[in-house]
Structure 1
Amino acid sequence: MSDVIKLLTGAFGDEFVRFVLNIPESTNLNTIPNHVPDEVVQHLAAIALSSAGNGFADNNFFAAAQLTSYSQSKGTSLVQALRRACGGGPLEAVEESEDAVLYPLRMIAQDCWPVYLMTSVNSERLNNFFAATPSGVMQHPKKSDAAEAFMQDASLSKLFPPRGEGARDHPLTESAEWVVNVGTGGTRNLMGVLSGLIFDARLRVALAGKALTFQSLSESLEHSLATLRLLAEGKEANVPAVIGFSGIHLNEGQSIRFTDGVLREVRPAERQLLLHGSHAVGAVYETTYPARILDAFQLDPGSDNWAKLFNKYRARIEESFRSLEYALDKVRLALVLGSEEDGLLAPKEEARTIIDPANLGGSVYWNTGDQTPNNTSIKPEKHEELVMIYDVIRKKHPESLNIAMTRLLSAVTSRRDSNDALIDALIAWENIFGTRTETTFRVTASLAKILKEIPEERANLQKELAKLYGIRSAMVHGAKEPTPDAAATNRERVIRIAIDALRALYFERPELLSMISEDRSKRVLLEG
C-alpha cells in the first residue's frame, strides 16, 4: 500500500476515500488509480495532515469543516467537487417535497453528506457533538430558506419563542433555552438545530443497518424532522436508544427479540458512531426512549436563572431515566437468570446513545469504570428460554425485589473485588428472605427450603449458606479476608444461590413475589 493511501485511509477511512476518488469496491485500494488528478490527492493529503496536526481531540471535525465548505463557482461543496474531478457522476436529484423545511434541508444534505462516510482508523471514537456541526451547513446558500421555513412552521417555531417585536426578522440568529428530558439542556441556536437534524438522520441510517447514501440519508431526514415537530408540540416521541453491553456476545446475524427491544449483534458502523468506540461491547440492545422537550424559553440578557429553571424539571428528567434503566435491568436480570452452569451471562452497560434531534449528535453516555466482564456467547438454543424468562420478569417482578435485582446485577457485572461481589449477593439474599431478627438462620433456612426437596439436603445446604453468611460478618468485624482463590469460589457460590433463588420465586413460587421479604421467609419456614 502506498504511503499516500495509508495517509488518506488512516485519516478518513476506506469508504470515504473510495467515494471521493471514485474507486469501485472491485478495485484494490493499494495505489492511486490513474484517473485521479494529482490536485485532488494533494488537496486531501493537505487536509489529512492539517487535521492531524491541529492538536484537537476530534480530527474529523476539522476535516469535515474544510470538506463541506461551499464553492459558489462550482455550485457544490468541496467534497462533491473533488469527487466530480475524479469522474464521479452528477449529484443525485433532490426529491420535491411539500414540506417547506424538508426540501432545503435535503438540498444542504446533498452537498454535505459524504463527510459522514469518514471513519478515521486513527481515532477509536467519534465526537458526535462536533460531527453534527459541519461548517458547510452554515455556509450553504439554502440555509436561509431552511431557517425561514423553520420559523414559519406552526410547530417548529414554538422551539424559539419570540424575544420581542422584530425578533423574527433574522431567523438565522434565532436561539432559545431548551430543557430536554434526556438529561441535557441549554442554549440551542437554529443553525445548530438544522445541522443536528441532518446528523440525526445519519445516526438513524447506521441504526437501521443500511449503507450510507444520499438516498438513505434523505429518507431518514424526513423521520428526524417529523420527530422534532412532535417534540416541538410538547408531545412525547419514542426515539431510538442503543445500549452496548459487555459480558455477553451475539454472533453476526443473531438477535433476540424481547417485548420492549431487540438484543443483537454489533454492526460495523455502530462501534465508533454509537458506542463511543468501546471494544468491550459484545452485543447491542436496541430500544426506545420517551423523549420530550419540557420547556423552551428566552432568558433575559445577563440572567443567571437557567439553573433554577432547569432544576424545576429535574425530578421529571430523573424519572424518565429511571424508567429506562428499570426496563434495562429487567432485560439484564433475565440474561443473568438464563446463565448456564459453565458460564455466567454478565450484561454490563458500556455505552448508550439516545438518538434525539433535540440534542446535537444525540445524547451519548459511556462507562468510565475499570471492571469489564468477559463476553460469554449466547447459544442460539438459549434465545427462546431467555425471552420466556424476560416475559415472566416483566409481568411479575415486584418492587420488593428491586434491591435483589440491582445487587445481583452489581455482583455479577460490576464488582472487580470478589469480597465486594459476595457482599452484594448476600444483600440480594436478604432482600429475598431477610428479617429483623435471627437474620442469618431465617435467610439461609428459607433459601435452603425453596432450593432443596430432601430434608437432609436442606440441612446441609443451610449449614453451607450460614458459613458463607458468616464470612461477611467476620470481615466487617476485622477478620482476615479470604485468600483470592477462596474469595473467588465464595463469590461464584453466593451468586449462583441468588440466581437459583430468584428463578425459584419467579417460576415455582410466584405467590411469594407480592410479599415483603420477612413475610416470604415466614411463609416458607412455616410450611409443612
Structure 2
Amino acid sequence: MSSSQPPSEQALAAGTKLSSLVWLMEVAGREFVTYILNCGENLDSILSGITTLTPEQAANTEILDRTLRGLPEDIDQTVRVRAALSWLSECQANGQLTAQMLYLNAGGQQISVPAADDLEESIADLADAVYSALLLPDEFAEMFDHYNLRVGIYASRAIFDHPSASGFREAVMNDSTLGQLFAIEGERTGRVTKRIYLSTGTAHSIQLLRLPEIILTRAWHSIPLAEQGPMQFVEAALKELRNIRSILSRKRGITRGKIAFAGILLPEGSGLTLKGASVRSTTDDDRKLAPPSLKGQASATDFSGVTTTVSYDGDIVLEMQIPLTIRVVDGSSGNLRWPDDMHLPDEVEATINRLRFGLIMAVEREARALLVPTWRHFDDPLDTTMSLSWSDPREGAGFMPTQLTGDEVTSWASWYERLSKPYVAKIDLALSRILKASGERRDPSDVLIDSVIAWERLFGTKEGEPTFRISTSIAILLGETFEERMEIKTRLSTIYGLRSKVVHGSGHLKPSEYAFCYEALDVAIRAVRILFLDRADILQLPDGATRSSALLLGARPSPDEEPP
C-alpha cells in the first residue's frame, strides 16, 4: 500500500473495512471516529495503513462495516447518513449508547467522579453516556435561532431518552430546594417552575423535561473545542448543575455579558483590562451572536491615504462579569408586569459610558473617534437562550472607521481610569449628553440642545442670570487672556441665543447656523478635557453653582493637591 496516496483512496483501493471508517469520518467528523476507536492522535496513521488496528479496534470496525452494508442499497445518501447516526446514538438495553459501547470495547473507560448526592450522580452518568452523541453534527442548526445554545438532534434525542435523565428528574423532585420550584403540573408540559425573572431582562419558566438538556447543552458550549473530552464534559455538567442549584436557592449569582461596538479597530494583540471586565477585538465566535441584519462593512480613507474597514456587527467587545438577581413569581393570576427593581446594575451602563467618553478624550484627531454600540447579549444561566438586543450603527451619526495606535490605546486606558473616579458621577449627565450629541443626533438642533445641557450641568445654577454665568465660566476655563475670554464669551452667548430660539419655538435654524451647533459640542468636550487634566479641583466640587463660583472668583488649586 503506497503511503503517497490520500488516506481515503488507499483505504478504498485496498478494499478493507477501513473504507467504512473513512465514510463515517466524512459524515460524523474526525472527533467521533477517534472516540469510537479510542485511538487518540493515531487516526491518520490508522487510515493510511501505517498503524495496525488493535483486535478491539478491528472488531469495532467490523461491526460498523457490517451495519453499513446491511442498509438497503437503494436509499439515498441523506437517509443512509441519518440511519447510521441514529443507530450510533441509540441507547441500548444496558443504558449505553452504541457509540459508547464501541468506545468501551476499544479500551475506553467510564468516567467516575465524586458526587455529592443522587442529583449529581445522575447528571454525571448522563453526561458520560451521551458524550458521543454531542460529537455528531447538528444537521438542523439553520432552523433555529442563531443566538441560542443548542445541541444536535441526535444528542437531544439521546439525552431525553436515556434512563439517567429520568433518574435526574426524579432526583430533582426529591430535592428540598429544586422540588419546591417545579410546583406547577402542566397538561402538556409536565412539571414547570413558576415564572422566573432575571435582572438581565429575561423571564421564563423552566420545564423539568428540558432541564437535563439545558444543563448538558450549557456544559458542552462552555468547553473550548480543543479541550473537549468525556472527563471534561462530565466535570462541566456538574459545574452547571451546581451553579443552577446555587442561583435558584440564593436567588442571585454571576453571569457574563458581552457588549459589542463598531467603528474602532484595536492594534493586533492589544486591549484594555478593567476591573471585572475586559475590552478586546471581536472574534468569529462573537460575531455568531450578531443578528444577520448587522452583517456588512464600512470603509473610510484618512488624510494620509490609509483606508480602514470596520464591521457593523462589531469590531470591539466589552466582556463583563455581571451580578445577577432572580425572582420567582406566581404568574397564575395573569399579572406579568416587570418588577421595577429587576434591572441591570448601574455599573454596566456606567462602564459603557466611561469607555465611550474615554475614547473621545483619548483620540485627538480631526475626525472624532466614536465607539458605536451595535449589539449586546447576556448569558442566561438557567436556560440555553441568551438575552440579545441590538441597534444598527448605520442609523447613528458621525460613524468614522478608525484604526487606533498603541499610544491611543494607552491613553484610552488612562482616560477610563480618570472617568472612574467617584466624583465624576456628579457630571454624568453632562458626559451622557456629549455622547448623544457626538454619535446619536443627526439633526444639528439636537446636537445644539444636548451640548448646551452639558454646559449647564457643568456650571449651571438657578441663581442670577444663567446665560451670563455659564458662558463666563466656560470662557475663563478655555481662554488665557482677557481678549480671548471676551471673544469666547461673545460666541457662547450667540450659541445660547440659538438654543433659546430652538427650545422656545421662536424659529428654525438656518443652514448658516449649523456650524454653531457643532461648535457648542466642541466647547463642551474642550471644557471637560481641561477640567480633568488641569482643574480637577473644580471638577470635584459638588454642583454647577459651586464650580462656576470657583471659576468666577478665581479659585486656584493648591500646588500639592492631587485628585483622589
**TM-score scaled by structure 1?**
0.73
Correspondence for 2:447: 421
Of structures 1 and 2, the one scoring higher in RCO (CA 8 A, sep 6+) is 1
Correspondence for 1:225: 241
1:137-148 residue pairs with structure 2 within 5 A?
A: 137-148=159-170
Letter of the structure 2 residue corresponding to residue 262 of structure 1: S
The farther-off stretch of 222-231 and 424-433 is 222-231
Residues 495 and 517, structure 2, Cα contact 8 Å, conserved in 1: no
Give the C-alpha shift of residue 118 in structure 1: 7.7
Separation in 1 of the partners of 2:325 and 2:137? 27
Letter of the structure 1 residue corresponding to residue 78 of structure 2: H
Counterpart pick for 2:215 among 172, 197, 221: 197
- Over 3 Å counting, the alpha-carbon distance change for 1:417 and 1:17 in structure 2 is farther
The structure with the largest alpha-carbon Rg is: 2
Residues 338 and 385, structure 1, Cα contact 8 Å, conserved in 2: yes
Separation in 1 of the partners of 2:235 and 2:87? 21
Correspondence for 1:406: 432
Structure 1 unaligned blocks of 5 or more: 1-13, 28-34, 48-65
Separation in 2 of the partners of 1:380 and 1:15? 46
Correspondence for 1:182: 200
- Over 3 Å counting, the alpha-carbon distance change for 1:42 and 1:132 in structure 2 is closer
Separation in 2 of the partners of 1:397 and 1:350? 29
Question: Secondary structure, in 3 states, of the residue corresponding to 1:315?
Answer: coil
Are 1:330 and 2:359 an aligned pair? Answer: no
The alignment of Structure 1 onto Structure 2 pairs a total of residues equal to: 460
Give the C-alpha shift of residue 182 in structure 1: 2.2
- Over 3 Å counting, the alpha-carbon distance change for 1:521 and 1:377 in structure 2 is same
Correspondence for 1:316: 341
Give the C-alpha shift of residue 124 in structure 1: 12
Are 1:128 and 2:143 an aligned pair? Answer: no
- Over 3 Å counting, the alpha-carbon distance change for 1:351 and 1:457 in structure 2 is same
Structure 2 unaligned blocks of 5 or more: 1-25, 35-40, 45-63, 296-311, 556-564
Deviation per CA, 1:279-319: give whole Å up to 9, x if none: 4211000111111222265x6xxx32442xx55xx12213x
Give the C-alpha shift of residue 510 in structure 1: 2.5
1:221-300 residue pairs with structure 2 within 5 A?
A: 221-272=237-288, 274-277=289-292, 278-279=294-295, 280=312, 281-295=314-328
1:293-442 residue pairs with structure 2 within 5 A?
A: 293-295=326-328, 303-307=332-336, 311=338, 314-318=339-343, 320-367=344-391, 370-372=394-396, 373-436=399-462, 437-442=464-469
- Over 3 Å counting, the alpha-carbon distance change for 1:496 and 1:46 in structure 2 is farther
Deviation per CA, 1:305-362: give whole Å up to 9, x if none: 442xx55xx12213x3434223322232222322322343322332112123124323
RMSD, aligned α-carbons? 4.3
Separation in 2 of the partners of 1:350 and 1:401? 25
Give the C-alpha shift of residue 230 in structure 1: 1.8
Residues 194 and 205, structure 2, Cα contact 8 Å, conserved in 1: yes
Deviation per CA, 1:244-277: give whole Å up to 9, x if none: 11232225432211123100011111111x3345
Question: Secondary structure, in 3 states, of the residue corresponding to 1:269?
Answer: helix
1:62-101 residue pairs with structure 2 within 5 A?
A: 70-72=89-91, 94=111, 96-98=113-115, 99-101=120-122
Are 1:103 and 2:151 an aligned pair? Answer: no
- Over 3 Å counting, the alpha-carbon distance change for 1:260 and 1:101 in structure 2 is same
Letter of the structure 2 residue corresponding to residue 96 of structure 1: V
Separation in 2 of the partners of 1:321 and 1:431? 24
Are 1:450 and 2:477 an aligned pair? Answer: yes
Separation in 2 of the partners of 1:481 and 1:15? 66
- Over 3 Å counting, the alpha-carbon distance change for 1:365 and 1:349 in structure 2 is same
Correspondence for 1:63: none
Correspondence for 2:78: 43
Correspondence for 1:51: none
Are 1:464 and 2:464 an aligned pair? Answer: no
Separation in 2 of the partners of 1:416 and 1:92? 64
Identity fraction in percent: 21
Give the C-alpha shift of residue 494 in structure 1: 3.0
Give the C-alpha shift of residue 498 in structure 1: 2.0
Counterpart pick for 1:481 among 494, 502, 509: 509
The farther-off stretch of 403-412 and 103-112 is 103-112
**TM-score scaled by structure 2?**
0.68
Correspondence for 1:52: none
